[in-house]
DNA sequence: GCCAACGTTGGC
DNA sequence: GCCAACGTTGGC
């Protein structure tokens, strides 16, 4: 099993929104970064555990856990001309962008802020902590995942 | 609202 | 293939 972290802006889509969705399941769409896409395509398997991270939030931090319930498939919004995620260079024969479905496992009892994560030496190598990191989907080590969840 | 960091685009 | 210009991300 693999472990991941995925960012979302709570003003756009929050952990509470996921819990409110049907079956607590959502299409994780709109990923328009090749590195993030490749992680979804090559690494994400059903049952993988995902830390849900609120970015552009006050404060930013890890807010919940979700699980991959549908492995990578073409992101439908890339074909929708009315969508902000429409990509005229993508085609149905050769789709450029992928989505996965994730199901909420639980919301953490409290938000683990980025500030708190930065103070933990064992997490110093996490990509999330690295300066200038902008990846919205990134792998997390099992020991990092377990440590963060245990902070609550 | 600012701005550093980074990815993408497009002219050459 | 290089790289300047531009747009976006995301913490502060």
Q: What's the CA gap between A79 and A83, in Å, rounded?
A: 8
Read off the pLDDT band of A14 (50, 70, 90): very high
Read off the pLDDT band of A82 (50, 70, 90): confident
Q: What percent of chain A is modeled with pLDDT above 90?
A: 87
Read off the pLDDT band of A22 (50, 70, 90): very high
Q: A112 pLDDT exceeds 90?
A: yes
Contact A38, A59 (CB under 8 A): no
A131 strand B contact, CB < 7 Å: yes
- Tell me, rounded to whole angstroms, the distance of Cα A121 from its chain centroid: 23
Residue A87, nucleotide of least CA–C1' distance: B8
Domain spans of chain A, in order of start: 3-144
Q: A7 pLDDT exceeds 90?
A: yes
Residue A84: its pLDDT value, please? Answer: 84
Distance A38 CA to C4 C1' (A): 28
Distance A6 CA to B8 C1' (A): 22
Contact A44, A72 (CB under 8 A): yes
Other beta carbons within 10 angstroms of residue A119's beta carbon come to 10
Helix (H, G, I), strand (E, B) or coil at A88: coil
Task: Give chain B positions with protein CB within 7 A.
Answer: 4-8
pLDDT in tens, A30-53: 999 999 999 999 999 999 999 999
Q: What's the CA gap between A149 and A67, in Å, rounded?
A: 14
Which of chain A's residues 59-78 bind strand B, using a 7 Å CB cutoff? none
The stretch A10-25 carries a mean pLDDT of: 96
Contact A56, A82 (CB under 8 A): no
CATH class for the region spanning A3-144:
alpha beta
Helix (H, G, I), strand (E, B) or coil at A102: strand
Look over chain A and give the mean of its residue pLDDT values, rounded to a whole number: 94
Q: What's the CA gap between A130 and A100, in Å, rounded?
A: 25
> Residue A137, by phi and psi: left (phi above 0), alpha (psi -120 to 50) or beta?
beta
Which of chain A's residues 8-47 bind strand B, using a 7 Å CB cutoff? 33-35
CB half-sphere exposure, A92, CA atoms < 13 A? 3
């Amino acid at each position: 099993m693999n472990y991941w972290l995925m960012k979302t802006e709570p003003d756009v889509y929050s952990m509470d929104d996921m819990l409110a969705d049907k079956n607590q399941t959502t299409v994780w769409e709109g990923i328009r970064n090749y590195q993030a896409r490749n992680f979804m395509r090559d690494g994400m398997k059903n049952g993988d555990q995902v830390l849900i991270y609120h970015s552009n939030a006050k404060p930013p931090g890890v807010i919940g856990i979700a699980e991959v319930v549908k492995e990578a498939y073409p992101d439908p919004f890339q074909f929708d001309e009315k969508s902000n995620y429409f990509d005229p260079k993508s085609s149905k024969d050769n789709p450029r962008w992928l989505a996965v479905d994730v199901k909420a496992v639980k919301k953490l009892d409290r938000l683990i802020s980025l500030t708190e994560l930065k103070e933990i030496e064992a997490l110093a190598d996490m990509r999330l902590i690295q300066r200038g990191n902008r990846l919205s989907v990134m792998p997390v080590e099992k020991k990092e995942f377990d440590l963060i969840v245990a902070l609550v």
